[in-house]
A and B are shown apart, each in its own frame.
Chain A
Amino acid sequence: MSFSTILFQLGSGMLKSMGIFLWTIVLSLPLGLFVSFGRMSKNNTLRNIVKVYISIMRGTPLMLQLMIVYYSPFLLFGMNIKSFRFPAIIIGFAINYAAYFAEIFRSGIESMPVGQYEAARILGYGKKQTFIKIILPQVIKRILPSVTNEVITLVKDTSLAFSLAYMEMFSIAKQIVAKESTFMPFIVAAIFYYIFNFVVATFMEQIENKLSYYR
């Protein structure tokens, strides 16, 4: 297999890795925000359910969670899961990362000084307005470094999709290595992951810079 073929195959795998990454980000960030609301709810039952959910998501391997999400429709209900591979991966990643993001959101929201809420209330802002206009923008600025951390981990975690035999970059690299008995695809994959993360980190840094107009 020529080098350019390897590059091409890994490149197409990379696109799939990026697909997992983007879908997970788009779904898990808003989901995480809502989970954090549940985590901070005054309702004991809801709060405890969410607590257990977060605890399980953080306390068990993501690879295992992916497998459970993928196989359980078949094992529990005898459903055909052939076309369920990609959705299962996205669901698995999204609910796992939502748990982590929820805790990050919670830390950010709880760190907001009560004076901000009080000032908003005196000025007549409603609860929703207060959260969306006053609290959330400041929370986002505060939690950005932690979010960057998670996002970078996610780039690397996309390789776990190999466990469901999804042909993203890592699976393909492994396959070529086994077939051609050359180590090179791993090196190329490593470089690709690194570049991917470099771009992601630079992007996050730019957002941070954008939000540094105030303190």
Chain B
Amino acid sequence: MKILEMNHINKKFGDLEVIKDISLSVSEGEILSIIGPSGSGKSTILRCATMLESINGGEIIYMGQKAAYTDNNKNVIYAKGKEAKYINSKFGLVFQNFNLFPHYSVIKNITDAPIHVQKRNKKEVFEQAKALLEKVGLTDKADYYPFQLSGGQQQRVSIARALCMNPKILFFDEPTSALDPELTIEILKVIRALAKEHMTMVIVTHEMNFAKEVSNRIIFMEKGVIVEEMTPDEMFSSNNERTKTFLGRYHNMA
């Protein structure tokens, strides 16, 4: 089953077209990585998928339900009210800079939305939160506040927070870009564990080797278009000139 479909997406910032007619889809259990140089639009496409940015054309469909579509007059119509809420509950997003709530403890960061937004049973949510903290290796940090944690720990909390909402698909927006290499490993470990459980994920990343290792499919983006869509095996042996240069540069750097 397709969890997410994005068709013919267009996105402009003023006159600048940052996403040009991009289509992509993600099936259940699939892990898609999006790579590309800075300014290629890879983060923007993620922000469009999560409705943090509104699109200027195209359609976004979650599990068969239209979150946004373009009508005959080229107006983009977004789902509203209950429908929007339902769709919103299907995805989670892990930010580059975590965006934890600093005035909430770790456990409250994770449990507050499930309890007060999803109106779920408190006890059940807390049990799930504790299990998630164990999964990300932070059992002993439940009562800490975000400022008391390292960046890697904060990011792991934010992954637990996203997971506690029971999303069908989880987006990662450069989850390791704000972290040093040591802390990056912590995060990649968690994502790897999620991959083993066949969590559906879309990962925008600069970690090429990780993308190759963990994903089923990789999209290389540049200047608002998809240059190439490939399997991980094809990645470093691509015949596409642009892909080759980009990854070549990466290799030289690494």
Contacts and interface: CB of A to CB of B under 8 A. Distances in A.
B147 to A, nearest CB: 4
A212 to B, nearest CB: 11
Contacts of A153: none
Contacts of A122: 50, 52, 88, 91-93, 162
A134 B102 CA distance: 9
Interface string A196-215: 00000000000000000111
A53 interface: no
**A interface SS class:** helix
Interface stretch (B35-43, B110-118, B209-217): B110-118
Given A119-B101, A133-B112, A124 B88 contact: yes
B44 interface: no
A124 B147 contact: no
A141 interface: yes
Interface in A155-192: none
Overall SS of chain B's interface: loop
Interface residues of A, number: 20
Interface residues of B, number: 27
Nearest to B96: A115
Interface string A115-127: 1101111111100
B95 A123 contact: no
B198 to A, nearest CB: 22
Contacts of A115: 95, 97, 99
Given A124-B85, A141-B103, A118 B52 contact: yes
A143 to B, nearest CB: 14
B93 A134 contact: no
A138 interface: yes
A129 interface: yes
Interface in B29-60: 50-52
B11 interface: no
Given A115-B95, A115-B97, A138-B102, A123 B161 contact: yes
Interface of A: 113, 115-116, 118-125, 129, 133-134, 137-138, 141, 213-215
7 contacts: A115-B95, A118-B95, A119-B101, A121-B52, A125-B117, A133-B116, A138-B102
